[in-house]
Each structure stands twice: as structure tokens, then as C-alpha cells.
Structure 1
Amino acid sequence: MLEERLNSFEPEERRSALQELAALAKGGTLPIQPLTGAVNVHFHTFFSFHYLDWSPSRIVWEAKKTGLDVAGSVDFDVLDAMDEMFEAGEVLGVRTNVALETRVFAPEFPDWEFSSPGEPGILYFMGTGFTRLPEPGTSAAACLDAMRAGARARNEDMLERLRPTIAPVEVDYEADVLPLTPSGNATERHMLAVLDTKARAMFPDEGRLAAYWSERTGLSQGEVGKLLGDTAKFRTAIRSKLMKKGGPGYMPPDPAKFPQIRDVVQMIRDVDALPCATWLDGTRRGEADPDALLDWFLDMGCPVLNIVPDRNWNLSDPVDKAVKTQKLAEIVAAARKRHLPFSVGTEMNNYGQKFVDTFDAPELRPYAADFRNGGYILYGHTLLQRACGMGMMSGWARDAFRGDRTKANAFYLEVGLTAFPPKDARQTLYDMPRDASPKAILGRLCGC
């Protein structure tokens, strides 16, 4: 019951439940695993879409229970999880990080596919290591506001295009979809959940329900019938048929409706966060040359690389698996050569995705240390930026490391490993002199 209260849309109820769970854990009433060496800094929360409806507090609690070394949130187009991630991390003693994901347009490559299949010029893109919101009235604030508004406009356009197809089922965006979110940031998957629920209510007979969906998707009634009992597979199939390329709700992306990638990079830099290169699986033109891809991202000022490892090795088709595990090896090698830390995780914004990567799988074992260290580096940056403005994008870091990513990564990794528990570490660093050396900072953290 306490854990379910962590998913309440009421912040005070989540906060109260978290405090109770923290007390039970501290008293030994609830079992807590020791740290495992695993990290996941790519959890979507219910501020965009988490398939189990987990809040930031719930994510941090699950990380505490299972011994994750670092836990990080990622939400589409908003930073609504940020304060709660930090607060929960300090209450429970969990290293945390906050990131944002969006879709952007790359005007340099309008005809190339990157990480958004079938959508030339459009990329999924991220910023990570956020510690604050943009100041009101700034260009960064306008950019972030436009991202939220643009996502909503695209959703509402999609719903309008779907109306003739889904009739007689009716979906009201304001009344039906937005209440599924705590802060009004709905996604395609929220719309899909409403559509699924309303269709089941209108057609309680499974045969009629299968006929309804068969007529609208082109799937046979038998195929639909087999899927109806598995929410994950059913909604994935319906989304593919109705909302993705070729479906009635799909509209080819209009570059004018997406922010340009360099504008988003600037917004991220304006709040001293880390623009984050992204990579899907290396099979499309924009990702075919990992060296060229990462050099392009670096030229824009992106010092971190995001990967979702599970979709590049945990595959049933042996040919597909062979191709993508090789592509994974290539992008990791290219990132290592450029001394880029990694941001990795499992997302949990699609049904059935696992809680944490299987780092001891033979396919991931060669990279496990890189991926774990990336989580620690992001936490080290976050802690120093929150405590005393000395994160990786700060003027202090530019002066201290003069563009040497190897030295910077080693320092923030050591901070990430040493600065624990988070609340005590932040207080220790709060009054650090702004001209302190990296050695002095590490000395204070270890009490030397």
C-alpha cells in the first residue's frame, strides 16, 4: 500500500509515503539490497509515460530496494521530475540524475534517417545532468515551453486525424487523456490507453471487440483475439497500425513543428546541463558512420552519449542480433576513442521493458564498466553543480580541465564514487571556494 501511494498524483502523499518507507528501511523492517554495481539513468516517469505509472519517488525507492548505484529520470519535453528525483535521492540515500528527451530537426541532414525510423531529418535527442529550470523570460525558458506545447499540439492533431477511424468510440483530449498525467504532459501511449479502455467498455463482448479492431487495423479477428489478453502486445500492435507511419493518425513530420537541434543544445547549455548525443542502433544512414556521427555531436557541444543497450542485443532474430551487437561494439569503440561518458538505461516507457540492463550478459559484459562509470560521472556532475556550480559545463570546469575530457571524466567519476550519501555530500560541498582545485574538492569529500 505504501508503495502504491508513491504513484499518487498528489505530491504530499508521495512525500509522506516515501518518508514512511525510508524509516522502515532504516529500521530494518524492509529488506534493502546492497549496492550491485548496476545503474539505470534512463527511467521515464509518470510525468511523461511509465508503463507501470511510476513516479520519480517510486523509481528512486525501487532503485534503493534493488541496490542500483545510480538512478536517473528521463521525460519527454519536461523537467517536472527534477526536484522530486533529488529530494527522494537525499531521503533514501540514492545517487540520482535528471534528463530530458525530445524530438528535434537537424537542418544539415533533412533527408537522412537517424534515431527516429522513417522520419528523415528528425532525431530523438537528450539533455542530461539538469539541476535547475531556465530563468523565466529567457530564450531557454521559451524553448522548453515550446517543446511542451509542440508535443501537445502534435498529439491533438493526431487525435483529430484518428477520429473518423475510431468512431463510434470517442476520445476527448482534455477530459479523457490529460487526467492520466500529473502535470498535463500526455503522450501517444496515454491516448492509446484511453482508446483501448473506451473500446473495451463499448464492446464488452470479445467477438465484437475483435471485429471493431480488425476493421480499423487490417488485422484479422483471429489475430486481434490472440492479442487482446496481452495489454503490452495489443497496444503495441494498435499503435503501430494507427499511429505510426502508414496509419491514419500518422502525419509525416513537419520540420517547422519541431525545435532545431542546435536551439535545444543551447537551451541545455544555458542551464549548465549536458547536451547528450543519442544513438538508436546504427542501421540507418545518419548513424552508419559512428565516428562521423559522434564528431557531429561533439561539434555541437554534446559531451555524453545515450544508448539503450537492451534493444541492441536482447533480440530473438539471430541475424538482427548479430548486426546490432556489432553496431553496438562500433559505437562504444567510437565513444571510447573520444572519451565520451555513457548514459544508459531501459526506459520503461514501453510495456514489458526491464527494470535494469543485464550487465553480466556476455554481449554487455565488455562495456559494463563503461556504462556504470557513466552513471557515476553524471551523478558527480549533478552533485557538484547543485552544491557549488562546479558541474562539467561550468566556467570552473573549463578552467580546471581546459577541454581535457579524460581528466574531467576521471575527476567527476571520483566525485561520483566518493560523494555519498547525497545529502551529506551536497552539504559538505556547499561552501566550497569557487577557486578550489579538483584535488581540494576530492580532499574535502574524503575528509583528507
Structure 2
Amino acid sequence: MTDSKSIFTTFPQPEELLAWFKEQATNTIPDINGHVHTPHSFSAFLEVEQPFLLAKSEGVSVLGINDFYTTDGYNEFAEMAEKHKIFPLYNIEFMALQNDLQEAGIRVNDPSNPGRTYFSGKGLRQPAKMSAESAQKIKDLQEESNRQTYQMVEKLNAFLAENDIYLQFDAEELQNRLAKNLFRERHIAQAIRIAVFEKEETDLGRAALFNAIFGGKEVKSAIDDVAGLENEIRNNLLKAGGAAFVPEDPKAFLSLEEVQELIIDAGGIPCYPVLLDFGNENYTDYEEDKEKLLAELKSKNVYSIELIPGRNKFHILKDFVKFFNDNGFVITFGSEHNTPKLDPMKLSAGGGIDLDDELKQINYEGTAVIAAHQYLLANGKEGYLKNGIAKTDEKADFIELGKAVIAKFLAL
């Protein structure tokens, strides 16, 4: 495949595709993971091919790229999808800021930062195509995010020098070695952990150095727990109150309306990522009443949601998903994989509880809508949105077409 063409342009016309699909004797619900990050933002994966290899080994047949602030990984993701016969979804993620909710102290889907709103776009054009204005907004977001991260490295170096801890870091070198265009706080935590392991050869020596870096606080994670150590580094040094913390400038965020406009301009379907319960059955202010959340999302012309089932209790997940499915929403699931922890690719609810067939079917149907949308856009047709509004009354047709698109790709 060339960088300038989508594989969906080689597919038959919708009528022919649907006729072909009706002849296929299969009612199997595929295993789908519609939200993974790649090294183009921050990821558990070392390279774009890794999630495909793992997905193949676990029987997952649909994967969705969902990097922060970038579509840079799309073409390689497309190549890997064809190579491994795993259907690709082309998504993106942003952090928006709803100023009115921030001022009111209302937490949306970030439990620690009122007003901050994670927001995704599903089924963008591939190869990526958007207006010059949208491309510039993404570039500005990347540069502002990187500026903050570079400042964190400066503060970190000053803190280490002041405390006679003989480690120093070069931000540009770290970005070149560990990141792509987007250099994130998690890369700094990764760099610190690697530096400690290189400086000290024993577990005792490493623990002692971590304790010094943490200002005398004892490291809690096992020394071989990479994800745990990097989270401790972030919490002790890089979060609010930490020695290397740098607050985000308001310029680092677009409004939710701007994010939605950008996603639609790039061909995507606006999608709200639901946090749902996060430990002890707690909820954010924005999500605690699903009826209110439904009304709020509809008022913003958002008719798609996604969840990360692994952080939710099964009965809460099931009740919530059924409610939004009954209200005509496109619903998809993923794993994120945006920490160093290499969790399974096959999705399950909190505690490793398997998703039941009803949840898998809902995820399959939501994925099919996105698949049909991608196929139609690639062939110059209108997708699931008309003037930015979801065609909820045509959802069933999109599901059938999308199932055919997925099956055709997997049969190539």
C-alpha cells in the first residue's frame, strides 16, 4: 500500500459488498480493541507492530490507533494492519478544557482536574487529511505540550543538582531517544527509571537512589515493577506539588467545541471517553447521573462514547453500556495501553472478568459503524455524519455495511 491511498478504495461498491457478506456463513463476534496508544504519543509498546503481534497471538482481529494530538502513526498502522490481517480503526485523542466547568469545580472524565475533558475522534481519514487551520492547531498543541515537558526537565535537573543526586538529563536527547514528535511527562518518568537502573546495579542500590530522588520517601513498588516505579516517579516529582512540576498553560488546551470541529474537519466522529467508576464505585460529577450525561452529550451533538472496561466493575459497565446502547449511541471499547504496563490485548472488565456476548456485540456494532464510515469517506462518499450531526436513524444500515467492510478486509 502506498502512503497516498487507503485500502478501502479497492473495495467493491456497498451493494456488492453487502451481497458478498450475506453469502458468508459466519455469525462470530470478533474480539476488538478499539483504543490503543502507540509510540507516537506514549505507549506500553516499543514499536507500532508490537500491538499487532500481541493481538494476533490473543485472537484480536480489530485494532484502533488512538494517539494524543497526532495522526503521525496512521500510515504505518495501515501497513501493519494489512501485513497481519487485523482490521484498523483510525482515531485520535485530545485534552480539551471546559472553562465553565473548571470554574464550577466540576470534574468531567479526569478525576483530579475539574473542567479538563479527554475527547476522542473515531474513524478519521487515512491517509490523514484536514484543513491547514486544523493541522496548525494540532502542531501548536504538540509544541505547547513539548514546551511544558522541556521545562519539567529543567526543573528536574535543578532539583537533582541541589540535592547532590548525580543524574542530569538533556530534554532534546530524551525526546530523540524515547519519543516521536510528542514528548510527554511519562517519557521523563521512563528516563529517570532507566537512569537509576543504569547507575545502580543492585536492587538495594536502586531503592536507595529512588528514596533519595523522592526526598526521603521510601519507594513502594517492587524494583522489577516498571509501571509501578514510573507511576511513583510521576506522582512524587512531576505532578502538582512535585519538585519538577510545571503547570499547564491554558494555551495547551483547545475548547471542547474547537476539538469537535477539528475532529469533524479531519473526517472523524466526535466521541466522549467515559471514565465511569474508578475505585470504590466513585464517579466524577459529570458522569454520576447517566440520564444527565446522556442529555449533556446530546446537547453537544455527541452520539458516540467509548469505555476502557478494564477499569470498570462488570455490573456497572453492563448497566451503563446497555443504557446508552438503548439510546442509539455508537459504543466502542479499548485498553489504552498508555502506561508502561503490558496488559492483555483482549478486553475484560475490572478484575479480569470476561465481557459477555451482549457487551461484545455492542462493541462490534459500534466498531462496524466506524468501519463503514471509514470505507465511505475513503471512497469520496458521506460517512456517519451529515453537517457534523450523527445519522442515528441510519445506524442499523451502517452496522450491516461495517460488518461487511470488516469481513472483506479480514478475508483479503
What TM-score bracket applies, with the shorter chain setting the length?
A: 0.7 to 0.9
Task: Check the 8 A contact 1:126/1:278 in 2, yes or no.
Answer: yes
Output the TM-score relative to the length of structure 1: 0.75
3-state SS of paired residue (2:124): coil
Question: Residue type matched to 2:191 in 1?
Answer: V
Match of 1:414 in 2: 400
Match of 1:375 in 2: 367
Counterpart-to-counterpart distance in 2, 1:338 and 1:127: 20
Mapping of 1:29-428 within 5 angstroms? 37-55=30-48, 57-110=49-102, 111-132=105-126, 133-135=128-130, 137=132, 139-167=133-161, 168-181=166-179, 183-217=180-214, 220-221=217-218, 223=219, 227-282=222-277, 283-313=283-313, 325=314, 327-350=316-339, 351-358=341-348, 361=353, 366-394=358-386, 404-405=391-392, 407-419=393-405, 420-422=407-409
Q: How much has 1:129 moved relative to structure 2?
A: 0.6
Counterpart-to-counterpart distance in 1, 2:84 and 2:222: 40
Question: Residue type matched to 1:197 in 2?
Answer: I
Task: Check the 8 A contact 2:34/2:333 in 1, yes or no.
Answer: yes
Question: Residue type matched to 2:370 in 1?
Answer: L
Output the TM-score relative to the length of structure 2: 0.81
In structure 1, stretches of 5+ residues that fail to align are 1-10, 12-33, 314-324, 426-448
Q: How much has 1:51 moved relative to structure 2?
A: 1.3
Q: How much has 1:300 moved relative to structure 2?
A: 2.4
Counterpart-to-counterpart distance in 2, 1:121 and 1:363: 31
Question: Residue type matched to 1:299 in 2?
Answer: S
Q: How much has 1:80 moved relative to structure 2?
A: 1.0
Counterpart-to-counterpart distance in 2, 1:364 and 1:254: 43
Question: Residue type matched to 1:257 in 2?
Answer: A
Counterpart-to-counterpart distance in 2, 1:42 and 1:334: 21
Counterpart-to-counterpart distance in 2, 1:250 and 1:296: 33
3-state SS of paired residue (1:96): strand
Question: Residue type matched to 2:348 in 1?
Answer: T
Question: Residue type matched to 2:224 in 1?
Answer: G
Counterpart-to-counterpart distance in 1, 2:296 and 2:199: 51
Q: How much has 1:69 moved relative to structure 2?
A: 3.3
Task: Check the 8 A contact 1:74/1:99 in 2, yes or no.
Answer: yes
Deviation readout 1:97-131 (Å, 9 max, x if unpaired): 01111211012311211222211111111111111
Match of 1:17 in 2: none
Highest RCO, 1 vs 2 (Cα 8 Å, sep ≥ 6): 2
Against the structure 1 CA distance between its residues 329 and 68, is the aligned structure 2 distance closer, same or farther, given a 3 Å change threshold?
closer
Deviation readout 1:118-147 (Å, 9 max, x if unpaired): 11111111111111434453x212222122
Counterpart-to-counterpart distance in 1, 2:252 and 2:187: 21
Task: Check the 8 A contact 2:118/2:272 in 1, yes or no.
Answer: no
Task: Check the 8 A contact 2:86/2:410 in 1, yes or no.
Answer: no
Counterpart-to-counterpart distance in 2, 1:327 and 1:65: 29
Match of 1:14 in 2: none
Residues paired across the two proteins, number:
371
In structure 2, stretches of 5+ residues that fail to align are 4-26, 278-282
Larger helix percent: 1
Question: Residue type matched to 2:327 in 1?
Answer: R
Against the structure 1 CA distance between its residues 268 and 216, is the aligned structure 2 distance closer, same or farther, given a 3 Å change threshold?
same
Q: How much has 1:250 moved relative to structure 2?
A: 3.0
Deviation readout 1:153-208 (Å, 9 max, x if unpaired): 22123223322333431111111233223x32222222211111122223335434
Counterpart-to-counterpart distance in 2, 1:150 and 1:174: 15
Against the structure 1 CA distance between its residues 305 and 250, is the aligned structure 2 distance closer, same or farther, given a 3 Å change threshold?
same
Counterpart-to-counterpart distance in 2, 1:62 and 1:211: 35
Counterpart-to-counterpart distance in 1, 2:158 and 2:254: 30
Aligned-residue Cα RMSD (Å) equals 2.9
Against the structure 1 CA distance between its residues 281 and 157, is the aligned structure 2 distance closer, same or farther, given a 3 Å change threshold?
farther
3-state SS of paired residue (2:231): helix
Question: Residue type matched to 1:277 in 2?
Answer: Y
Counterpart-to-counterpart distance in 2, 1:195 and 1:416: 45
Task: Check the 8 A contact 1:203/1:209 in 2, yes or no.
Answer: yes
Counterpart-to-counterpart distance in 2, 1:101 and 1:408: 26
